[in-house]
């Protein structure tokens, strides 16, 4: 009964919502333009770190989101976007607009840092990206990983100052990218047990309580009370701008045109 309530029912609702929205059928021509979540880089001197998430393409959006990283060192005139994808080079650099819609879907801001806080994070995030082990052709696996969410989780794991966890719909975030089945959570505030990404249990102050069954995650956020459901995501307290990260700054208005 618990499995039906917390796993089967949420995924059924997510499937119904996906069909109702009718999103992602024509993925080739879907909108991938800027969603206006970032200021024009050339006019914004401060360093910027963003982690975005948006539902994946076509029917896979019922189950999962795709996460990516955007960095801009202080004074840089452009953003650099990092995705881990199944096509082209596994670590795809600037393949899309930094805050672009993911095949028609507006991304959610999972984490945001600006100014000195971002400057302190960027070198270690860049080092983690450069040293990511699963960076060769053929390494990518949509399920249970390593996929785009595994990549972002590994970079976050290298930077303890990022005080958030990826959404429960980020399937692949629990894949053991370093081969360890038992380890500290990315935030360092708890423990994660994972059986190859197919099943697992997470207990942490930042991550809360999460149960992973075949990549689908259900759980409870204790720090910021919320319910986590597969397919549907997180329901509860959020940041002041609606982002998952309670420390994130207000979202910027959409610039005219692409703004890059």
Query: How many other C-beta atoms can be found within 10 angstroms of the C-beta atom of residue 31?
Result: 13
For 82-124, the pLDDT digits (tens) are: 999 988 788 999 999 999 999 889 999 999 999 999 999 999 9
The answer to whether 155 and 69 have CB atoms below 8 angstroms apart is: yes
Structure tokens of 219? 């759980």
Residue 245 scores a pLDDT above 70: no
Residue range 67-76: average pLDDT? 98
Residue range 14-34: average pLDDT? 77
Residue 255 scores a pLDDT above 70: no
Residue 174 scores a pLDDT above 90: yes
DSSP 124-146: HHHHHHHT-S--STT---SSSSS
Would you call 48 exposed, middle or buried from its count of C-beta atoms within 10 A (0-12, 13-18, 19+)?
A: buried
Residue 253 has what pLDDT?
35
- Structure-model confidence comparison of residues 225 and 252, the more confident one: 225
- Structure-model confidence comparison of residues 234 and 250, the more confident one: 234
- Give the 3-state secondary structure of residue 61: helix
Residue 249 scores a pLDDT above 50: no
- Give the 3-state secondary structure of residue 85: coil
Average pLDDT, the chain: 87
- Give the 3-state secondary structure of residue 152: helix
- Give the 3-state secondary structure of residue 154: helix
Residue 250 has what pLDDT?
36
């Amino acid at each position: 009964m618990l499995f039906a309530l917390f796993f089967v029912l949420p995924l059924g609702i997510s499937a119904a919502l996906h069909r109702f929205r009718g999103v992602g059928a024509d993925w080739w021509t879907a909108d991938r333009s800027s969603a206006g979540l970032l200021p024009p880089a050339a006019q914004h001197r401060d360093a910027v770190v963003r982690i975005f998430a948006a539902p994946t393409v076509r029917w896979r959006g019922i189950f999962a989101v795709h996460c990516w990283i955007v960095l801009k060192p202080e004074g840089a005139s452009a953003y650099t976007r990092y995705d881990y994808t199944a096509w082209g080079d596994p670590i795809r650099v600037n393949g899309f607009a930094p805050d672009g819609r993911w095949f028609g879907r507006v991304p959610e801001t999972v984490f945001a840092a600006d100014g000195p806080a971002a400057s302190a994070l960027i070198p270690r995030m860049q080092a983690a990206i450069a040293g990511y082990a699963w960076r060769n052709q053929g390494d990518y696996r949509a399920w249970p990983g390593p996929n785009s969410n595994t990549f972002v989780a590994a970079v976050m794991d290298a930077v303890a100052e990022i005080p958030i966890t990826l959404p429960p719909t980020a399937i692949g975030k629990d894949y053991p990218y370093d081969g360890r089945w038992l380890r500290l959570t990315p935030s360092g505030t708890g423990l994660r047990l994972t059986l190859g990404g197919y099943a697992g249990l997470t207990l942490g102050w930042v991550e809360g309580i999460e149960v992973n069954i075949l990549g689908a995650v259900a759980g409870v956020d204790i720090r910021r009370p919320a319910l986590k459901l597969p397919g549907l995501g997180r329901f509860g307290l959020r940041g002041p701008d609606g982002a998952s990260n309670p420390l994130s700054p207000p979202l910027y208005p959409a610039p005219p045109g692409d703004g890059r």
